[in-house]
Amino acid sequence: MKNHALITSLKNLRGNPRGCVYTEILWGLPFNLYAPYASIFMVALGLADREIGLILSISWGFQLVLALLGGAVTDKLGRRRTTLIFDIVSWAVPALISAVAQNVAYFLVAGIVNSFWRITHNSWTCLLVEDAEPDQLADVYTWIYIANLLVGFVTPLAGVLISTFSLVPTMRGLYLFATVMFTLKAVATYLMTEETAQGAIRLEETRNQSLFHVLTEYKGVLRELLRTPQTLYTAGIMLVISVSTLISSNFWGIIVTEKLHIPAEHIAVFSVVKSAIMLVFFFFVMPRFNKLHFRVPMVVGFIGFAASQVVLIATPDRGYFFLTLSVFLEACSMAVVNPLVDQLTALSISAEERARIHSLLYVGIILLTSPFGWAAGLLSEIDRALPFVLNMLLFAVGAALAHVAGSRERATVEVSENLALETT
């Protein structure tokens, strides 16, 4: 195991990739403790499904504006400083608000403040990939996921605490713990990294420009984006992942507890199962998939996602076996698709305009994703299974996009190789 390619790649990480990957566990630990119970915590404090969906949609509306500003802010402040400031604002502050929440107003404010993660996501991504070797990216993103999976094994601790102290006081304590850990992670990342080469260039170029002036330059960047089909296909796949994640993360706990009547304290067990399956997949299956062109693994992964939703919907009352099967299929699919999407995104974006292209991509994704929170809330009130029927349709679209994107990319490579042969 110590000579495994992934272990070797982790030991060999240097510079910014090392600083970003090694500190990720400080974010993943608190997040994995409270996230599975977040929507149930809201319900316990009296929020209706529709109010939860409305909070999601409003926060995504704010994310639209902040994603647009993200590239300009990242260029003006620098990748490193932006990440420090907005890691604290977007994660530590809303965790503190949630810790003292009493009603829907608190969660609405927390959701809006949390929306600032769109800025730090842009700057952190640039910090992570801009000075990394292209052939390093697959392993870097895989380790980001592994870091969060490893800390997922502590999730049952939250279940034990809930059984002992009940849901609401436990969640308040977990949110306070998250406030401290998110702040620590932001500071540690800052100390372990340095400004990227491209970040230094953009700092100098924007030094005497206002934020508004930097934003006016988006027109040319948008033109470049629209002329790059591969990036547009990637954006479509990102949109599918974005909407389906929004639905699953906020309504899975509700269908499991309210329709399948699984006790809340048992939810953590399924999180551990998912983490274990994904870890096995990363170490023993993905090295084989990495040798293949991305089209086949992605299409298979989206088919697996759709199958997991079918099984979830068909799960009978307190059907632990079928629910575990659904989690198994979802975990395998997630281990295949998510790192490939991240790698594809990094490779399909121009390095010179990475921050602003990222902003424009996420503006489009947020604009199209934001109504789905409210819509999923309405669907859930009609039938807890309907949001996951919507997921099935989305995964079918994702499989089609992955197939088309892969076919076009392979065709482009073949044309380039033929031209090179003719030239020689």
Confidence of residue 420 (pLDDT cuts 50, 70, 90): very low
Euclidean distance between CA atoms 294 and 404, whole angstroms: 11
CA dihedral over 89, 95, 100, 102, signed as positive or negative? positive
Q: What is the pLDDT of residue 424?
A: 52
For 348-379, give the DSSP string.
HS-GGGHHHHHHHHHHHHHHHHHHHHHHHHHH
Residue 253 tokens read as 């706990």
Q: Say how far apart CA 332 and CA 239 lie, in whole Å.
A: 20
d(CA 417, CA 409): 12
Give the Å distances, CA to CA, from 195 to 87, 189, 207: 16, 12, 15
Q: Cα–Cα distance between 121 and 110 in angstroms, integer?
A: 18
Convert 276-311 to b/e letters by CB count within 10 Å (16 or more is b): ebbbebbbeebeebbeeebbebbbbbbbbbbbbbeb
Among 88, 120, 135, which residue's Cα sits nearest to residue 355? Answer: 120
Cβ-based neighbour number of residue 102 at 10 Å? 9
Report, as an integer, the average pLDDT of 46-53: 87
Dist CA 238 CA 350 (whole Å): 17
Q: How far is 88 from 249, CA to CA, in rounded Å?
A: 22
Stretch among 115-129, 221-235, 293-307 having the lowest mean pLDDT: 221-235
The model's confidence at residue 417, banded by pLDDT at 50, 70 and 90, is very low
State residue 58 phi and psi, 5-degree precision.
Answer: -65, -45
pLDDT over 50 (residue 12)? yes
- Per-residue model confidence as pLDDT tens digits over 86-136: 999 999 999 999 999 999 999 999 999 999 999 999 999 999 988 888 777
* pLDDT > 90? residue 388: yes
- The yes-or-no verdict on residue 423 having pLDDT over 60 is no
Domain of 313: which CATH number? 1.20.1250.20
Residue-averaged pLDDT of the chain: 86
| 225: CB partners within 8 A, 6+ apart | 231, 232, 357, 360, 361
Q: What does the alpha-carbon distance between residue 21 and residue 193 come to, in Å, rounded to a whole number?
A: 11
Choice between 136 and 206, residue whose per-residue pLDDT is larger = 206
**Residue 380: how many other CB atoms lie within 10 Å:** 24
What per-residue confidence (pLDDT) applies to 324? Answer: 93
3-state secondary structure of 254: helix
Token pair belonging to 189: 């990342």
Q: In this structure, what token pair is assigned to residue 51?
A: 């109010």
pLDDT digits (tens, 9 = 90+) for 251-287: 898 899 888 988 877 887 887 788 888 888 888 887 7
pLDDT of residue 415: 42
pLDDT band at 351 (very low <50, low <70, confident <90, very high): low
Category of 404 on φ-ψ map: left (φ > 0), alpha (ψ -120 to 50) or beta: alpha
Domain that holds residue 111: 5-423
For residue 236, give Cα distances in angstroms to 129, 154, 170.
Answer: 21, 34, 39
CB 357 within 8 A of CB 228: no
How far does CA 208 lie from the centroid of its chain? 34
> 286 near 174, Cβ under 8 Å?
no
The whole-number average pLDDT for the span 389-408 is 89
Tokens 């997921």 -> residue: 391
Looking at residue 355, its pLDDT comes to 74
Dihedral sign for Cα atoms in the order 84, 86, 89, 92: negative
Which of 107-139 are b and which e, b meaning 16 or more Cβ less than 10 Å from the residue's Cβ? Answer: bbbbbbbbbbbbbbbbbbbbbbbbbbeeeebbb
Does residue 422 surpass a pLDDT of 70?
no
- Dihedral of alpha carbons 355, 358, 364, 367, sign: negative
Provide the number of structural domains found in the chain. Answer: 1
Distance CA 91, CA 354 (A): 24
CB 64 within 8 A of CB 365: no
Of 388, 396, 365, whose CA–CA distance to 302 is shortest?
396
